[in-house]
Amino acid sequence: MTKEERAELAVQYKQSGYNCCQSVIKAYEDCIPADESLLMQLGAGFAAGMGCMEATCGALTGAVMAAGVRRAGEMVPPVAKQILAEFKRTCGATVCKELKGIDTGVVLCPCDKCVRNAVLAAESVL
């Protein structure tokens, strides 16, 4: 699967009702040795970002989770830093509330685009 196909698959999952984190980790389901139920449970707490929009975007969290599995836990922190930097470069922020413009009224990046960019950021370093 190409990185673009994986990113579009994640967007399709988002559009079908999964939260941002779940959409990203489900797009990596073929690489993660866990069943869908467990993946969805792991991602359930990251809807509307961590802490109900107060912290890290759920899509970004899902991308780092997938990177951890794809790298078998090896050297994940520097990879996570690269994913975060690329996501911030393309989306303008990493915090859900900022991405959605809750305080400013200016949406930096809608959820579908965050999901797509999280997968592309992960794929750029994996």
pLDDT of residue 51: 77
**SS3 state of residue 95:** strand
Q: Tell me the pLDDT tens digit for each residue of 46-105.
A: 888 777 777 899 999 999 999 999 998 899 999 999 999 999 999 999 999 999 999 999
Sign for the pseudo-dihedral over CA of 98, 100, 105, 108: positive
How many Å apart are CA 75 and CA 59, to the nearest integer? 21
Q: Tell me the pLDDT tens digit for each residue of 33-47.
A: 999 999 999 999 888
DSSP code per residue over 23-75: HHHHHTGGGSSS-HHHHHHHHGGGTTTTTTTTSB-HHHHHHHHHHHHHTTTSS
Nearest to 120 by CA among 19, 28, 18: 28
Instruction: Return mean pLDDT, the chain.
Output: 94
pTM for this structure? 0.94
| Residue 13 pLDDT greater than 90, yes or no | yes
How many Å apart are CA 46 and CA 53, to the nearest integer? 9
Residues in CB range of 117: below 8 A, 6 or more apart: 7, 59, 87, 90, 91, 109
| Residue 11 pLDDT greater than 90, yes or no | yes
- What whole-number percentage of the chain has pLDDT above 90? 86
